[in-house]
Structure 1
Amino acid sequence: MRAVIIRSFGGPEVLEIAEVPTPSPGPGEIRVRVTAAAVNPVDLQTRSGALARAGIMAPRAVTGLGWDVSGVVDAVGAGVTAFGPGERVIGLSDRPGLSLKTQAEFVLLEATAAAHLPGGADPVAAATLPLNALTAAQALDLVPAAARATILVTGAAGAVGGYAVELAARTGARVVAVAAERDAALVRALGAAHHVPRTAAAEAVRALVPGGVDAVIDAANLGIRAMDAVRGGGTYVGVLGSPPPPLRGIRVANVWIRADGERLASLAAAGLTLRVAGTLPLPHVAEAHRRLEAGGLRGRLVLLAEQ
């Protein structure tokens, strides 16, 4: 079978479409025949070596790419009862540095990392859901439920930020969304009560919410600039990079994504806004990396394994 791998770190030129053995599922695993796999910033960070330099993954001779997947169960390992061959699923491969991940024709997943794809759901669009929606949901979990009256979301037009806006608004929070001017209508459609341009300072947020917001989900990694918009004793949740120090009694947390099939199933059934920026055949993965690095995408590029 074909799989996207790297044997060294570098630019898109190190990406390789390799012929590798089709894996067999072990106990508690399912094998998925891949329909579609999204390309995320974490794939760029894996390829460049940034994750290895940060100590998040150990360098190895062969490293697979891809976290999100949608497809059809092809085989199941011992002890798996929740899934059977022929069933459509989505899932998350959350272990960095594996030699085979989701950008391949077949992938192994722990059964607990997968969810059934609802009937009628588009498997290509669904491939954009697992990593980003779970990250947004788990970030929102870090905001105390009793302190969600006002939530600031940075990077609100991005994949994680967009889901964070939508999920926070559904809890009844008044959401202030930081995004480019051209994305003002988008973030409002996702549920934001207010839009603040990316160039605006914390004072602009505080003009809308005197005293500061209760919490921020910092999907754009603004750090202290985002924290400055939070009231004393509020909550800062970082998504990328190192969070700022806990000034003014602000509770500081960082979301570290983890696979959760049960939660993923609820997100898949929630009718969230899925955004596909474009599709490419699996062998065109280098082009997907170049387009993602160039910026300006809204939604995720998706690689199609079945051509």
Structure 2
Amino acid sequence: MRAVTVTTPGGPEALEVRDVQEPAPGPGQVRIRVAAAAVNPVDVAVRAGFMALGGLMPEFGSPGAREAVGIGWDVAGTVDAVGAGVGHLAPGDAVIGLNDRLDVPAGAYADAVVLDAGAVAPAPRTADAAHAATLPLNGLTALQALDLLALEPGGTLLVTGAAGAVGGYAVELAVLRGLRVVATAGADDEELVRGFGAEHFVPRGEHLGDAVRAVVPGGVDGALDAALLKVGALEAVRGGGAFVSVRGDTAPPPLRGIRVTGVWVRADAVQLGLLAALVDAGRLTPRVAEVLPLAEAAKAHGRFQEGGLRGRLVLVP
């Protein structure tokens, strides 16, 4: 089968489509015939070697490291084989899943991928594979960040990067929890973000702390920092509030008694099932910017790095 891998970190040209042995599912695992795989920032970071430099995976070429590392976390497809002990999934099931391991021989950018059954859930019935593939990583990140914030219904929440994949899901999920959302994004994104349910909108580029406090006196109860604004977003939070960064290693210092943490996303089949159900109920909005063939993974990474996307790029085998 084909899989997109990296042997030497670098730019988009470091991605290589290779023929690799098709994996077999072990106990508690399923093999998914890939229909779509979304392109995410973590994929770019692995390809460029940043994850290895950060100690999150072995450095390329180091003793014990793989010759080639597979790329891709988000997958939508069809189960075509199950390992021993898997009872809730069967061949033919349409599913979504999250490959939350960095050091693997083949990721979601492949003809097939093997995942633990606990990382896989039935796909939303109302979305095609390309849209379904945008759900696992970004939806779980938003959901788990909101869990960490633990704000009460009626509380106020700032979401930075609200027009992005994580930010858009975060706004919709926060509104479903009864939170009042202040969103920040580019000025041209106001209509989009308000459509997700944001009560207030602050254009990117303004002094965020002052702008947010102008609409929420004293500051918001919490912030979900999807744009990695760090202290800039922390300034908008009241003393004793809560702050979550979507990257666990980039949280700002806990000034003014603010509870600061970062989300380290994890695969969770139950939460994936909840997200899929919300899509089917019309309460969560998957967005696709463009669909490209698997062989054009390098082109997709180049397009991703140009920025300005509204929705995810998706690769299809």
Q: With structure 1 as the length reference, what TM-score do the two structures score?
A: 0.98
Corresponding residue for residue 174 of structure 1? 180
SS in 2 for 1:293: helix
- Give, in angstroms, the shift of residue 144 of structure 1: 2.0
1:229 aligned to 213, 229, 236, which one? 236
RMSD in angstroms over aligned alpha carbons? Answer: 1.0
Q: With structure 2 as the length reference, what TM-score do the two structures score?
A: 0.95
Corresponding residue for residue 270 of structure 2? 262
Q: Report the AA paired with residue 143 of structure 1.
A: L
Tell me the distance in 2 between the aligned counterparts of 1:233 and 1:121.
Answer: 40
Written as runs of structure 1 = structure 2, the 5 A alignment for 1:154-169 is: 154-169=160-175
Identical counterparts, % of pairs: 57
SS in 2 for 1:146: coil
Aligned residues of 2:290 and 2:314 also touching (Cα < 8 A): yes
Aligned residues of 1:148 and 1:214 also touching (Cα < 8 A): no
1:31 aligns with 2:39: no
SS in 2 for 1:75: strand
Written as runs of structure 1 = structure 2, the 5 A alignment for 1:141-290 is: 141-146=147-152, 149-201=155-207, 202-240=209-247, 241-271=249-279, 272-290=284-302
Write out per-residue CA displacement over residues 191-230 of structure 1, whole angstroms, 9 at most, x where no aligned residue: 1001101111110100000000000000001010100000
Write out per-residue CA displacement over residues 225-254 of structure 1, whole angstroms, 9 at most, x where no aligned residue: 100000000001011342111110000010
SS in 1 for 2:278: coil
Aligned residues of 1:147 and 1:214 also touching (Cα < 8 A): no
Aligned residues of 2:181 and 2:200 also touching (Cα < 8 A): yes
Tell me the distance in 1 between the aligned counterparts of 2:23 and 2:234.
Answer: 45
- Give, in angstroms, the shift of residue 147 of structure 1: 7.1
Written as runs of structure 1 = structure 2, the 5 A alignment for 1:53-202 is: 53-59=53-59, 60=65, 61-146=67-152, 149-201=155-207, 202=209
Write out per-residue CA displacement over residues 85-128 of structure 1, whole angstroms, 9 at most, x where no aligned residue: 01100000001121111110000010000001133431111000
SS in 2 for 1:66: coil
Q: Report the AA paired with residue 199 of structure 1.
A: G
Q: Report the AA paired with residue 148 of structure 2.
A: L
SS in 2 for 1:139: helix
Q: Which runs of 5+ in 2 are unaligned?
A: 60-64
- Give, in angstroms, the shift of residue 170 of structure 1: 1.1
Corresponding residue for residue 15 of structure 1? 15
